[in-house]
């Protein structure tokens, strides 16, 4: 059924089909149809960052930027859903076209640019929450906020998201916001994380409960840079790391006429690079904090590969576009099967 729907949707421009698909999922959930149409994966509970996940397969940020559809998406069997990236103020993102499919590679190139309606809209949607799984909120900075003042945007997001998020992600790795990736290195990263950790402790005291904080990093780093990040994350007590975001490389899609398009590449071509980052990061962290693995998961075997590389949880995004809800169940069952065999 999904293959037929996908063929129809792929006849439309990518953003148009994206919006139609999400509208359909949201409508089906509100009418109670998803319970009949989707075979949910088995329970495979896991505890990560002090949170109880019904299964280790989540939806990565980017699909539901504004929190308009997470109830429907969650009903497809995800153990957790991450919404955003959201910024303090609404912004339109980059000019269209800014989203490109590469079906022959099971890949997508996007340069969306954190297009979203702002955190106040997202939180108004979260207040309508029916989804019972873990909900993460992914935070970014506005495009016109200077890098040296980026912490202010993240602090605004943390304060507003705290009462509504099960965990919060700080997105430092999108290639589509100028200067953002500079925040992943050296004093920029250290100073930002010190401020965020201080705010996290203050908010925990004020509200009387703790919300874990994860950092999302890029795949385009060498082993030395990953070691430096790992040392800092452990030293400052960050709760988790999401590896990885999209890549600016075009390895594996050189034969596509769309390879010249600017933006981040996701999907099958980034799988190997993402897994290598997870493996190197796991070695550097030595179990000090959990890794959420994302990048190129298009099958159950791909999900298991991330777990074997050192991830505690996985997220899917582009694979979900190409495979649909069946991928969620397949990934959960594959991970559960691997754990039962060990």
Q: Which helix (H) or strand (E) holds 139?
A: strand 134-139
Give per-residue pLDDT as tens, 27-63: 999 999 998 889 999 999 999 999 999 999 999 999 9
Give per-residue pLDDT as tens, 259-304: 999 999 999 999 999 999 999 999 999 999 999 999 999 999 999 9
Report if residue 68 sits inside a domain.
Answer: yes
- Token digits of residue 2: 């999904």
The mean pLDDT of the chain is 97
Give per-residue pLDDT as tens, 8-27: 999 999 999 999 999 999 99
Average pLDDT rounded to a whole number, residues 55-76: 98
Kind of pairing between the strands at 240-243 and 213-217: parallel
Residue 216 has pLDDT above 80, yes or no: yes
Give per-residue pLDDT as tens, 108-136: 999 999 999 999 999 999 999 999 999 99
Report if residue 149 sits inside a domain.
Answer: yes
CB 117 within 8 A of CB 63: no
Q: What is the CATH number of the domain that holds 46?
A: 3.20.20.70
- Token digits of residue 69: 């559809």
Q: Which helix (H) or strand (E) holds 223?
A: helix 223-236
CA nearest 64: which of 25, 98, 94, 96? 25
> What is the pLDDT at residue 132?
96
> What is the pLDDT at residue 1?
74
> What is the pLDDT at residue 2?
86
Report if residue 341 sits inside a domain.
Answer: no
DSSP character at residue 259: G
Give per-residue pLDDT as tens, 130-160: 999 999 999 999 999 999 999 999 999 999 9
Report if residue 342 sits inside a domain.
Answer: no
Catalytic residue among 174, 266, 299, 312: 174
Q: Is 174 a catalytic residue?
A: yes
> What is the pLDDT at residue 342?
81
What are the phi and psi torsion angles at 101 (to 5°)? -90, 145
> What is the pLDDT at residue 243?
98
Degrees to nearest 5, angle at CA 31 with 116 and 317: 40
Average pLDDT rounded to a whole number, residues 95-116: 98
Q: Count structural domains, the chain.
A: 1
CB 142 within 8 A of CB 89: yes
Report if residue 211 sits inside a domain.
Answer: yes
Three-state DSSP at 156 gives helix
The boundaries of the domain holding residue 284 are 2-336
CB atoms within 10 A of CB 136: 29
């Amino acid at each position: 059924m999904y293959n037929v729907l996908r063929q129809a949707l792929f006849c439309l421009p990518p953003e148009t089909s994206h919006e139609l698909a999400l509208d359909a999922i949201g409508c089906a959930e509100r009418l109670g149809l998803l319970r009949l149409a989707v075979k949910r994966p088995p329970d495979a509970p896991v505890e990560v960052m002090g949170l109880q996940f019904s299964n280790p397969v989540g939806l990565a940020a980017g699909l539901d930027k504004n929190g308009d559809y997470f109830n429907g998406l969650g009903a497809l069997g995800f153990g957790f859903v991450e919404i955003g990236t959201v910024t303090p103020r609404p912004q339109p993102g980059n000019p269209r076209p800014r989203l490109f499919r590469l079906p022959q590679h099971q890949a997508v190139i996007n340069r969306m640019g954190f297009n979203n309606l702002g955190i106040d809209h997202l939180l108004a949607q979260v207040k309508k929450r029916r989804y019972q799984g873990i909900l993460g909120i992914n935070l970014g900075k506005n495009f016109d906020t200077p890098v040296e003042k980026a912490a202010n945007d993240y602090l605004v997001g943390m304060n507003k998201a705290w009462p509504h998020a099960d965990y919060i992600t700080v997105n430092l790795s999108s290639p589509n916001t100028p200067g953002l990736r500079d925040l992943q290195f050296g004093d920029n990263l250290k100073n930002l994380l010190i401020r965020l950790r201080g705010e996290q402790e203050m908010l925990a005291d004020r509200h009387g409960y703790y919300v874990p904080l994860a950092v999302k990093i890029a795949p385009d780093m060498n082993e030395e840079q990953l070691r430096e990040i790992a040392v800092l994350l452990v030293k400052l007590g960050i709760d988790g790391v999401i590896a990885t975001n999209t890549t600016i490389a075009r390895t594996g899609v050189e034969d596509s006429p769309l390879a010249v398009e600017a933006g981040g590449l996701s999907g099958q071509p980034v799988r190997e690079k993402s897994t290598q980052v997870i493996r190197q990061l796991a070695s550097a962290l030595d179990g000090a904090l959990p890794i959420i693995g994302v990048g190129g998961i298009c099958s159950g075997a791909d999900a298991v590969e991330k777990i074997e590389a050192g991830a505690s949880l996985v997220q899917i995004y582009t694979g979900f576009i190409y495979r649909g809800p069946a991928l969620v169940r397949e990934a959960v069952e594959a991970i559960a099967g691997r754990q039962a065999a060990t």
